Amino acid sequence: MNKPLSAKAKVPLKQRTHNTLVYLRQHWQLYLIFMLPAFVLTIIFRYIPMGGVATAFMDYNPFRGLWHSEWVGFEHFRRFLSSPDFMTYLMNTLKLSVFGLLWGFPAPILLAFLLNRILSSKIKQKVQLVLYMPNFISVIVLCGIVRIILSPTGMVNMFLGTNYNFMTMPQAFRTIYIASGIWQGTGWASIPIC
Residues 94 and 169 in one domain: yes
Residues 53 and 99 in one domain: no
Q: Where are the beta strands (DSSP E) in the chain?
A: 58-59, 70-71
Burial class (CB in 10 A: 0-12, 13-18, 19+), 166: buried
Q: What's the domain range around 102?
A: 86-189
- Residue 119, CA distances (Å) to 125, 131, 145 in order: 11, 17, 31
Residues 101 and 39 in one domain: no
In a domain, 134, yes or no: yes
pLDDT tens for 132-159 read: 998 888 889 999 999 999 999 999 999 9
pLDDT tens for 42-69 read: 999 999 888 888 889 999 888 998 888 8
- Residue 92, CA distances (Å) to 82, 111, 145, 179 in order: 17, 28, 24, 16
In a domain, 1, yes or no: no
pLDDT at 8: 57
pLDDT at 50: 87
Look at the chain and count its residues. Answer: 194
130: domain CATH number is: 1.10.3720.10
At position 22, the amino acid (one-letter code) is: V
